Amino acid sequence: MHTLPGRLDAGEPGWTETVDVVIVGSGIAGLTAALRLRDQVDRILVVTKDILGNGSTQWAQGGIAAALGEGDTPDQHEVDTLVAGAGACDLDAVRVLVQEGAEAVRELISWGTNFDLDPDGNLSLTREGGHHRDRIVHAHGDATGAEIQRALNEAVRRAPEILVYEHTMVLDLVLAEDGGVAGLTVHVVGEGERDGVGLVRARAVLLAAGGLGQVFSQTTNPAVNTADGMALALRAGARLRDLEFVQFHPTVMYLGPDSHGQQPLISEAVRGEGAFLVDWDGSRLMEGVHELADLAPRDVVAKRIMQRMLETGHPNMWLDARHLGREFWERRFPTILASCESHGIDPATDLIPVAPACHYASGGVHTDLWGRSSVAGLYATGEVACSGVHGANRLASNSLLDGLVFSRRVAEVLPGELRPLAEPAADLRTVGALSGAGRRELQETMSLQAGVLRSATGLGEALADLDKLAGVDATALGPDAWETTNLITISTALTQSALLRQETRGSHWREDFPERDDARWAGHCDVTVGPDGALDVDFIPSPATDGAHA
């Protein structure tokens, strides 16, 4: 039994704000919800850890998937999503995603998003791994996320009903006597009278805080993604689901053994346009491995790269896109081209060194199809949430669509479910904040023992290291200590879930249990924590199984 750190110790709040709804996060999920709620709720506050929109959305290169092309249908999109999810998707959630996706994308266009068009003036569509149709809409070639974020930022700035606090880190949920939401505590930097720790009283809290990428040494996620939303939800009693299903993007630029933190992503769309993977001998890496070859689902490609790296002792493999030509690169992938060139690589003449890195969390705060968590008044959407739509491995370009579709659904039900403004109850949870000095060790442990390749031995060693780090209290309170506490909290829960699931499924690869998609493990790993901080991880079998597992 592992005991998690307690609620974040931040001292007494120096100021108070009262709103109807507070939204944590300012990417596609958070801002879509804010724009959808503005005509239905009086006071909406968006809090964001950095500046408006400086999260994962702006880094999305490939695009957003929806059945918009001639001959494509939601049913075909559904099949591809289910195949990628490896038997762990919630079918109803997938159907919501694919059936409501096209309308949601059109709404983005109505808010000012400029997607690329073909010569006939129709949406230009491309293909990525796991898709059997061209259904990826994109913007400025490979800057889709940045264009969506620009349009949403401008729409929010034009909406006086939406209040925005930048440079604001959310610390913990504040609960009422009935266990439901009464608000949250935050730490603001540089906002005049609101500088420092404050209390935001609210009738509902919507988490749209992104993922957990900084748990690992190398990730495509920005520095702000330190699992804050998942950690504070867990501490407040919310159920987290499927944390073991972490997607590692197969083609992240390899910058050398000392590289750390956010790494340059080479979008799957590059392979969708004809690039292919090769090993150090120049042999095609994915031929004969999967029917879709280089466009196989991400877990298949990432595992093949890792296998070949282990077989050869090399730290990376290569992406060959030289045949696309300089003119094509400049037109279709200008952002990736500039990134490559900044590291001394010309993809029109050079092979691109690539290796898998943490990209996306398919698990998170467990929600229903309307974004409701297991805590009254707490909702979640986007990467911080787990509706079951991604299963064991997210299909390429379904992430932006997830945040878009399910935020619209939250906004549909939340106004009619607002709780009365409640008084904060006495918080009896233990208090804790851990030393930020252990962050690098944590990340290296997680990458080595709980990354692409996992085993009982490695996961056990990771838990022992995490327990050791959890025993070092912070000497000074502040964002570094609070973020590290959140990282240790979610790393422990993730590792314990990965240890429980004794099979290989989707993005979860157990070397000691190589059998794929074991029917006995069709179901979910749910994580909760008690008032004493004790971590509880349970296997919840799917209704179609007998629940038997090793």
Q: Which residue numbers are catalytic?
A: 298
Count of other CB atoms within 10 angstroms of residue 234: 23
Rounded distance, CA 382 to CA 207, Å?
Answer: 8
Whether residue 413 contacts residue 373, with contact meaning beta carbons closer than 8 Å, is answered with no
Parallel/antiparallel/unpaired status of strands 15-18 and 196-201: parallel
Nearest to 225 by CA among 262, 279, 199: 262
Dihedral sign (CA 484, 488, 493, 494): positive
For 117-182, the DSSP string reads B-TTSSBPEE--TT-SS--EE-STTT-HHHHHHHHHHHHHHT-TTEEEE-SEEEEEEEE-TTSSEE
Nearest to 498 by CA among 512, 487, 488, 509: 509
Phi, psi of 85 (to 5 degrees): -75, -10
Rounded distance, CA 72 to CA 180, Å?
Answer: 43
Rounded distance, CA 151 to CA 105, Å?
Answer: 13
Q: In what order do the strands lie in the sheet with 21-24?
A: 162-165, 44-47, 21-24, 204-207, 378-380
Whether residue 368 contacts residue 413, with contact meaning beta carbons closer than 8 Å, is answered with no
**C-alpha 332: how far from its chain's center?**
26
Rounded distance, CA 180 to CA 173, Å?
Answer: 10
Whether residue 203 contacts residue 20, with contact meaning beta carbons closer than 8 Å, is answered with yes
Dihedral sign (CA 229, 230, 235, 241): positive
Rounded distance, CA 194 to CA 248, Å?
Answer: 39
Rounded distance, CA 193 to CA 214, Å?
Answer: 31
In the chain, the largest separation of any two C-alpha atoms, in whole Å, equals: 66
Rounded distance, CA 246 to CA 508, Å?
Answer: 7
Helices (H), 370-513: 399-413, 439-449, 456-469, 479-500
Q: Is 391 left (phi over 0), alpha (psi -120 to 50) or beta?
A: left
Rounded distance, CA 237 to CA 259, Å?
Answer: 36
